[in-house]
Structure 1
Amino acid sequence: MRGVLRRFLAIIVIGGVLCSVGVADAAVDPIVVRDVSLAEYPRVGLQLSLPSALLGTSGSQPVFSVRENGRPVEVIDTQSSEVQPIDVVLVVDTSGSMEGRSMEAAKDAAAAFTGQLQPKSRVAVVSFADRPRVLTRLTDDKTVLDGVISGLSAKGETALYDALSMAAREASRAEVSRPVVVLLSDGGDTVSRVQLDAALKDLKAAGAPVLVVALPSAEADFGTLRSVSRSTGGRFATVSGADQLMGFYEQLARELQSSWTLTYVSHRPSTNDLDVAVSAKVDDRAASGSSVLPNPLFAQPLPPAKMALVAVPPASNLTLAAAVGLVFIAVFAIVAAAALMLVRPRNGLDQMKYYDQLRTAGESSKTDERSNAVTEWVLGAVDFVAGKRGIKRLAYEQLERAGLPLRPTEYITVHLLLVIAAGILTEWLSQNLPLSIVAVVGATVVPVIYLDHLVTKRRNQFGEQLPDVLNLIAGSLRSGWGLQQSLGLVVEQMAAPVSAEFARAQTEVRLGREVESALAGVARRMQSTDFAWAVTAIDIQRDVGGNLAEVLDIVASTIRDKRALQRQISGLTAEGRLSAWILILLPVALMLALSVLNPRYLALLFTTASGMGLLAAGAVLLVIGSVWLSKIVVIEV
């Protein structure tokens, strides 16, 4: 009985030993954190290299989990990223214990490793025995690397810590944000001048994880090598013999070039560092890795820049008096403009808006009585000059289309006063000629742009109301009303600007103008080709007869379809129009900002021949670009 029990216990012990060996053999290498992105903190991006055991051919995707300072965090995105070139520092032990087969296998493995990398990946080679040596700095020249590796030879002691510190300095020269150090050694440190803590500090500063490949020997110090890999977020692996080095290095090269990108949301802990632990699982295999990241919340702020305060000399009495006078003139001009816009001369035909806009000064005797001599002299001079140059007619048409109760002479006078006041005030306040020029240009252009905006807005409102107007007229005609009665119904039922325009047309008809001519005047003022079609239909019907109501309904339906298509095109080209405005206004805004912040820097554009040439060329290119962009984003329907 005792013999049977002993056999049974022996079987259990042997089975336990075999199971433990099997578990050890099935262990998976850790995950390596290749890169870190903290630009969008608390969103943290990690670039990971997974071990080959998780990169099999099963087709399953790894499932990731992350713990930050021991707390689980939310992983919001994981994806396999495109393979990018890497920078690697190969650190090879060339001490006497590596002599013979181990040294030859190490050289073959290093050559195989460099051969597996992408063409643009760079490798530096550091050897160490009594002291470390940089055999070649980071390079992608495979010929140089093969020559350096083939010349390795084993002799001397082991300066492991010195080699790690030198590898950290080489890694700090890398072009990638997180280079990799691959260390091959079969022994412990014997002659280093640098302490282990200092070497680890250098590696962490360089952001370089250390992948340790340990060869078993009598002098091996696996505890220290594990500490190096664990402290830097790297990996520790052992090979049973030198014959396995080549296959292991080739596998390592494949792993480093297979990259996964993981993004998680940080808990924003109140610690100087973020201790991040990443786990990945594919089917029944799992791996984990860790890295210590700096906490952006505790980043050192930049010291504030020292600014010198420059004393501003007090203004003279003459300057103050001139400033007060200019302010008074500007206020007077604004008040006068408002009064001119709100107070109109009395008119017997008050229902006909803007009918009196082209009257001469001699015809407005009542206005002369209310105006002072200075105002009349200014208005007369402006009226004479503008009338000779054709500006008065152009201003009249724009004011009429915009629906503003303002005569052309009044508008031009107010515009001139605004330009003069803007230039004088800007020059007095800033003492900056370029800024004053910009102010004058702005005061000249902005009112014109605003007036054009009002014209466009009123025209669009008319176009939106037009289909309802035509349907209302068609319904009135079907009810037995005449065309003139239908126009009166439009005036009563519709809102502005349709009601105002049709009221003017109705008044013109009562004064003896033909209906078709009055309606054609509405189409001309509103620049509406759609309403011109309707007027043409009315004119044809009055000449040859027919069902006008049905024709107007068809025209209204066509206009609605056209407006719908225009709205769709406007939505599709909205982004392009916004980009065009940004590209056009950005140079002007930058010039204005520079003229305020650093006028001396900008003054070269106005005081030198080359500067003025560049300014003119920039203006021409800006105009060409504006026209080009308008042709792209404006689609006629």
Structure 2
Amino acid sequence: MLSKIVISLAVFAGVFYLARLFYPFFASLSERWQKKRIERITPKLDRMFIDVPLNKLILLDVLAPLVCGGLGLLFFRSLWFAAAGGAIGLLIPLFAVKRMEAGRRQKFAGQLVDGLMILSSSLKAGLSLLQAFEALVEEMPAPIAQEFSLVIRQMQMGAPLEEALADLKKRMRLDELDLVVTAMLVARETGGDLTVTFSRVINTIQERNKLIGRVKALCIQAKLQGVIMSILPILFGFFVYKTNPAFFDVFLKDPLGRGLLIYAGVSEALGIFFIRKFSRVEA
């Protein structure tokens, strides 16, 4: 009995010593890794004019994998699903920011025609291009007002128009905006009438949007079929696990079953990727 106590104390002391020895290394490694993740997210949030405190970003980055991993363990009672949930949780912040960027970019594209109409009307009224930008900022909502306010600020600080518009293109990465900026700069260099240029660009963008809308409408059926076919295997597996856990245990406890489960997950992910890839309409 005494020997067991001594062995237990020795093991505890050894583990405690190793934990204290390696804790600074792993803590430093974790801090550097988390810092890199935050540095990837923060500039994107700044470009979208979203001010999130650093401590909240870190909290979200820590909680997301813990919550998803806990849900995987709670529903499936398996460390494999807990690990998969934790991995998904790590991707959630990056995915959320990416979706927010895409939504903001799409909203900007939808406001671009109205913004060009305001610019054209302002120039016809005798205002300068900078004053036309200011009129656009006053009359239009975010995000186009936010982006052109940055353009105005850069020009007021001495940056040339070409540089300010080039930075705007880099931030938004829109084909429609590339067309607008190129037409605007060419018209200024050649002495063309910007109001006529804006009218032609507006017509071009409107016709382009109509064509893209028709193509997207034709792709809706393929996308819907892809979503249904992607969800069905997951729902069926969850149903089998809940109604007959013993049947599903083969996939969790047997090495061959786990391999098949991983193969099914990878195949499912590849199927979703290719369906989305083939049904995507490049604007």
TM-score (norm 1): 0.37
Which residue of 2 is the match for residue 396 of structure 1? Answer: 42
SS of residue matched to 1:404? coil
- Asked whether the 8 Å contact 1:458–1:497 carries over to 2, the reply is yes
Partner amino acid, structure 2, of 1:612: R
1:414 aligns with 2:60: yes
1:455 aligns with 2:101: yes
Which residue of 2 is the match for residue 193 of structure 1? Answer: none
Map of 1:64-463 to 2, 5 A cutoff? 384-387=32-35, 389=36, 391-400=37-46, 402-406=48-52, 410-424=56-70, 427=73, 431-463=77-109
CA gap of 1:407–1:572, structure 2 versus 1, over 3 A, is farther
Match of 1:507 among 153, 159, 162: 153
Structure in which a larger fraction of residues adopt strand: 1
Which residue of 1 is the match for residue 222 of structure 2? Answer: 576
Distance 1:631 1:430 in 2: 31
TM-aligned CA deviation for residue 447 of structure 1? 4.2
CA gap of 1:421–1:618, structure 2 versus 1, over 3 A, is closer
Structure in which a larger fraction of residues adopt helix: 2
Query: 1:64-112 deviations in whole A, cap 9, x for unaligned?
Result: xxxxxxxxxxxxxxxxxxxxxxxxxxxxxxxxxxxxxxxxxxxxxxxxx
1:619 aligns with 2:265: yes
CA gap of 1:585–1:447, structure 2 versus 1, over 3 A, is farther
CA gap of 1:405–1:595, structure 2 versus 1, over 3 A, is farther
CA gap of 1:590–1:404, structure 2 versus 1, over 3 A, is farther
Query: 1:220-272 deviations in whole A, cap 9, x for unaligned?
Result: xxxxxxxxxxxxxxxxxxxxxxxxxxxxxxxxxxxxxxxxxxxxxxxxxxxxx
Which residue of 2 is the match for residue 520 of structure 1? Answer: 166
Distance 1:569 1:482 in 2: 39
TM-aligned CA deviation for residue 475 of structure 1? 1.8
SS of residue matched to 1:405? coil
Which residue of 1 is the match for residue 130 of structure 2? Answer: 484
TM-aligned CA deviation for residue 403 of structure 1? 4.7
Map of 1:524-563 to 2, 5 A cutoff? 524-563=170-209
TM-score (norm 2): 0.77
CA gap of 1:512–1:598, structure 2 versus 1, over 3 A, is farther
Distance 2:89 2:276 in 1: 24
CA gap of 1:463–1:505, structure 2 versus 1, over 3 A, is same
Partner amino acid, structure 2, of 1:534: V
Which residue of 2 is the match for residue 473 of structure 1? Answer: 119
TM-aligned CA deviation for residue 513 of structure 1? 2.5
Query: 1:427-463 deviations in whole A, cap 9, x for unaligned?
Result: 3676443443453344334444433332222111111
Partner amino acid, structure 2, of 1:385: W
Partner amino acid, structure 2, of 1:574: I
Number of equivalenced pairs: 256
Partner amino acid, structure 2, of 1:560: Q
CA gap of 1:393–1:553, structure 2 versus 1, over 3 A, is farther
CA gap of 1:490–1:381, structure 2 versus 1, over 3 A, is farther
Distance 2:183 2:54 in 1: 34
SS of residue matched to 1:588? helix
Partner amino acid, structure 2, of 1:613: G
Distance 1:625 1:429 in 2: 25
Partner amino acid, structure 1, of 2:33: V
CA gap of 1:427–1:610, structure 2 versus 1, over 3 A, is closer
SS of residue matched to 2:141? coil
Distance 1:409 1:511 in 2: 33
Distance 2:98 2:239 in 1: 27
- Asked whether the 8 Å contact 2:183–2:197 carries over to 1, the reply is yes
- Asked whether the 8 Å contact 2:169–2:178 carries over to 1, the reply is yes
CA gap of 1:407–1:385, structure 2 versus 1, over 3 A, is farther
TM-aligned CA deviation for residue 498 of structure 1? 1.0
Distance 1:408 1:382 in 2: 16
Distance 1:598 1:505 in 2: 62
TM-aligned CA deviation for residue 396 of structure 1? 3.2
Which residue of 2 is the match for residue 495 of structure 1? Answer: 141
For structure 1, the residue ranges without an aligned partner over 5 or more in a row are 1-379
Which residue of 1 is the match for residue 279 of structure 2? Answer: 633
For structure 2, the residue ranges without an aligned partner over 5 or more in a row are 1-27
